[in-house]
Amino acid sequence: DIYVLRDELGVYAMASRCTHVGCLLPCPVDDLMLCPCHGSRFNANGDLLSGVAAADLDHFAVSFECIDDEVKIYVDASQALLDRQTRTPV
């Protein structure tokens, strides 16, 4: 339950479950994710904007491996990043 997203700074991985009761959030549209269960609002970086959610969404380390013409994306969800602005350049 992780989204891998890209912005102008690079690629990042973020939890896709609301921090209130764990409802699945839709992908960001126009820099906004609205929890379908209780209405909490997050921006595309996972920052809590409003609602009953407990916290921002966690971010996780992302790495890539290129094998011939195939690219594999790896997400290490074992530990949340302290800096939620970290991006992997592409």
pLDDT in tens, 48-70: 999 999 999 999 999 999 999 99
Strands 10-15 and 2-7: antiparallel
Q: What is the pLDDT of residue 89?
A: 87
Residue with token string 């790495």 = 63
Give the residue ranges of the chain where pLDDT is below 70. none
Contact assessment for residue 30 and residue 44, using Cβ atoms and an 8 Å cutoff: no
DSSP state of 86: -
Instruction: Report the SS3 class of residue 62.
Output: strand
Distance CA 77, CA 59 (A): 8
